[in-house]
Amino acid sequence: MIGKLLEQDATRAGLYRKGAGEMNNLTAYTLRRFFAENFPTDQQIRDYILGRVSEPPVDLEQMVEQYIDRIYSLREIPSTEPTD
């Protein structure tokens, strides 16, 4: 059900096209891979996000703090627009 809802929202946003393939669309799988790859490099946390282990390796509040820090750091990507 989550996948279907995500597909509907992604389609409306122009991020999903039928037949484009899993890695070319915004899907639950691609979101999970994105978060796993962009989360801190702690292998245990990555394994938890990917569902390879059932118990979080650290306190969930600590994971949330690290996640929020990482998400906001993605906004700090330098602009490609020329400056005067």
Reading the chain (84 residues) residue by residue, the pLDDT tens digits are 778 888 888 888 888 888 887 778 888 888 877 777 776 567 887 788 778 888 877 787 887 787 777 766 655 544 444 555
- Residues 23 and 43 occupy one common structural domain: no
pTM of this structure: 0.48
- Residue 41: what pLDDT? 62
Report if residue 81 sits inside a domain. no
- Residues 45 and 64 occupy one common structural domain: yes
Judged by phi (left if over 0) then psi (alpha if -120 to 50, else beta), residue 56 lies in beta
- Residues 5 and 23 occupy one common structural domain: yes
Residue 60 lies in domain = 39-76
Give the separation between CA 72 and CA 84, rounded to whole angstroms: 27
- Residue 80: what pLDDT? 47
- Residue 75: what pLDDT? 56
Report if residue 34 sits inside a domain. no
Structure tokens that stand for 48 in this block: 């938890």
- Residues 44 and 72 occupy one common structural domain: yes
Cβ neighbour number for residue 63 with a 10 Å cutoff: 18
Number of independent structural domains in the chain = 2
